[in-house]
Structure 1
Amino acid sequence: MATAEHTPDYPPKSPPPPKRPLQPPRPETGLVGTARARMKVRNRRSANWCLEAAPWAAGKATEHVLRQLHEWGYREADQAAADLTGALVRTAVADGGRRVSVHLADQERQALVVALSHQPGLAGGDTAVLPELTGLGAVSCGTDTAEDGRRVWAVLDLR
């Protein structure tokens, strides 16, 4: 007995259109291919301030940093913290951007102070400030340049 193919007597049902249009895939947000990783501070206290890049910014940043260190219970290294913060912010202001951001974090009785000049297009490799930071008491210091400006940082021992 031969079996005949059976064709349906109605058209096949098509799926309904999507309720929202399809979105293109999101861009890759990993660190691969970036010139410099964004600064991430985890598992420790931190604070940051954004200031106008003006001659008075170093004094204002020093006030903010010292007030925050006092709130965290550090009063031993006031002069060194003030000197380092002032030098970092003056360096960032000298880059010629419109603003400067100052970041502070602490861990195991050490403070990290970072100044970022938001001046794009700076030439890299300017390390003239590093001997000054070391002379002011920095345990470790460094600088790097990326599309969003130069980042200058120093670690201060708060013992």
Structure 2
Amino acid sequence: MGRLHEWGYREADRAAVGLTEALVRVAVADGGRRVSVHLADQNRQALIVALSHRPGPVEDEGALLPELTGLGAVSCGTDTAEDGRRVWAVLDL
């Protein structure tokens, strides 16, 4: 939240916190040794990404995307790469 506030965005605090908590919860559940959270903004939108750092396949989180949409994401997704699973959401600011 602090970074979004530094960038001049204060209107979407509740949605940003809810989305970040959900993304981190999923990344932690993957069982990796660490979790990274990344934040970017462009055109009054924020991209929030959590990376699990657990290589290999992970359980499908079928309810995740509807949950993220319900929390305010205008776009969201998940993908897996060598460095682990990325779960992400875009939020209008």
- TM-score w.r.t. the length of structure 1 is 0.56
Aligned mate of 2:76, from 118, 134, 141? 141
1:8-52 deviation digits (Å, cap 9, x = unpaired)? xxxxxxxxxxxxxxxxxxxxxxxxxxxxxxxxxxxxxxxxxxxxx
The structure with higher relative contact order (CA 8 Å, sep 6+) is 2
Q: How do residues 1-159 of structure 1 correspond to structure 2 at under 5 angstroms?
A: 66-123=1-58, 126-158=61-93
Per the TM alignment, residue 122 of structure 1 is displaced from its structure 2 partner at its CA by 2.0
* Fraction of identical pairs, as percent: 81
Letter in 1 for 2:92: D
Alignment partners' CA distance in 2, 1:105 and 1:154: 11
Would you tell me which structure has more helix in proportion to its own residues? Answer: 2
Structure 1: which 5+ residue stretches go unaligned? Answer: 1-65
Per the TM alignment, residue 82 of structure 1 is displaced from its structure 2 partner at its CA by 0.3
Alpha carbons 1:142, 1:153 under 8 Å: kept: yes
1:79-108 deviation digits (Å, cap 9, x = unpaired)? 000000000001100000110011100001
Structure 2: which 5+ residue stretches go unaligned? Answer: none
C-alpha root-mean-square deviation of aligned residues, in Å? 1.3
Alpha carbons 2:30, 2:58 under 8 Å: kept: no
Aligned positions, number: 93
Which has the larger Rg?
1
